[in-house]
């Protein structure tokens, strides 16, 4: 049985209507992105925030987690890693929906780096449509049957630094083109000076997208 992920949460300050789930990057943990939730919370009072630790520990020690190993950038290895981690993510989303009696169309995912890779690869393969996706500094991994496996479409907003030395921003442009060709409502923004990270402008763009998606 797939273990249930766990991590920090922020309760809604008013009646719960929507949920945001953060998916952190390689070597981080849930405490990383939950800080963004603290920034967004005052403008999203009816939203609760969840930031689970990825299912596997990193070799770095301490509280460093990973969705999958990055010992190889070979496509087949990345595909194996995504497939291994997928059930943990799907189980967690289903659990949050059932436990808090919130429909999947009211659950939005925010990813960074490896977390964005997880979201871009798996969310569209779920029959239960998500509210949307905000993806920072990531890429879309396409397995051989990717197009045929897309079961749901939702709005997507991507953001990437042009100085990113870990994942080139061109991957965001490619992901946008691919998903748009499949009928997704998707846009992206680039930051000229940003490296592999999230800046204030990206946080603002993400917030505005979420407010629009949740009709706040």
Q: What is the 3-state secondary structure (H, E, C) of 145-177?
A: CHHHHCCCCCCEEEEEECCCCCCCCHHHHHHHH
Query: Would you state the structure tokens that stand for residue 137, as one six-digit string?
Result: 């500094």
DSSP for 48-64? Answer: EEE-PPPSEE-TT-TT-
Query: Would you state the structure tokens that stand for residue 192, as one six-digit string?
Result: 């000229």
Q: Residue holding tokens 């301490």?
A: 62
DSSP for 46-110? Answer: TEEEE-PPPSEE-TT-TT-EESS--S---HHHHHHHHHHHHHHHHHHHHHHHHHHT--GGGEEEE
In the predicted structure, residue 72 carries a pLDDT above the cut 80? no
Element holding 43 (H helix, E strand):
none
Residue 189: phi and psi, rounded to 5, are -130, 145
Burial class of 62 by CB neighbour count within 10 A (0 to 12, 13 to 18, 19+) = exposed
What value does the mean pLDDT of the chain take?
Answer: 94
Identify the structural domains of the chain with CATH numbers, from first to last. 13-213 (3.40.50.1820)
Give the lowest-confidence range in 58-72, 155-169, 187-201.
Answer: 58-72
**pLDDT band at residue 203, thresholds of 50, 70 and 90?**
very high
214, 184 in Cβ contact below 8 A? no
**pLDDT band at residue 79, thresholds of 50, 70 and 90?**
confident
List the one residue out of 149, 142, 138, 208 whose CA is nearest residue 172: 138
Distance CA 47, CA 43 (A): 9
**pLDDT band at residue 1, thresholds of 50, 70 and 90?**
low
Q: What angle do CA 108, 45, 24 make, to 5 degrees?
A: 40
pLDDT digits (tens, 9 = 90+) for 6-57: 999 999 999 999 999 999 999 999 999 999 999 999 999 999 999 999 999 9
180, 155 in Cβ contact below 8 A? no
User: Is the Cα torsion angle 78, 84, 86, 89 positive or negative in sign?
Assistant: negative
pLDDT digits (tens, 9 = 90+) for 157-166: 999 999 999 9
Global pTM reads 0.96
pLDDT digits (tens, 9 = 90+) for 140-193: 999 889 999 999 999 999 999 999 999 999 999 999 999 999 999 999 999 999
19, 91 in Cβ contact below 8 A? no
């Amino acid at each position: 049985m797939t273990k249930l992920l766990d991590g920090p949460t922020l309760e809604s300050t008013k009646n719960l209507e929507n949920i945001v789930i953060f998916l952190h990057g390689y070597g981080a943990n849930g405490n990383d992105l939950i800080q963004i939730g603290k920034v967004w919370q005052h403008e999203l009072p009816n939203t609760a925030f969840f930031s689970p630790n990825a299912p596997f520990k990193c070799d770095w020690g301490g509280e460093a987690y990973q969705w999958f190993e990055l010992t190889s950038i070979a496509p087949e290895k990345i595909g194996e890693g995504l497939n291994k981690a997928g059930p943990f993510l799907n189980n967690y989303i289903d659990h949050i929906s059932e436990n808090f009696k919130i429909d999947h169309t009211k659950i939005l995912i925010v990813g960074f780096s490896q977390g964005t890779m997880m979201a871009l690869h798996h969310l569209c393969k779920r029959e239960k449509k998500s509210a949307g996706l905000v993806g920072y500094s990531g890429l879309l991994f396409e397995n051989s049957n990717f197009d045929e496996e897309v079961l749901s479409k939702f709005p997507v907003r991507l953001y990437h630094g042009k100085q990113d030395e870990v994942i080139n921003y061109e991957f965001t442009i490619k992901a946008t083109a691919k998903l748009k060709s499949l009928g997704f409502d998707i846009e992206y923004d680039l930051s000229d000076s940003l490296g592999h990270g999230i800046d204030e402008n990206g946080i603002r763009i993400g917030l505005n997208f979420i407010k629009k998606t949740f009709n706040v």
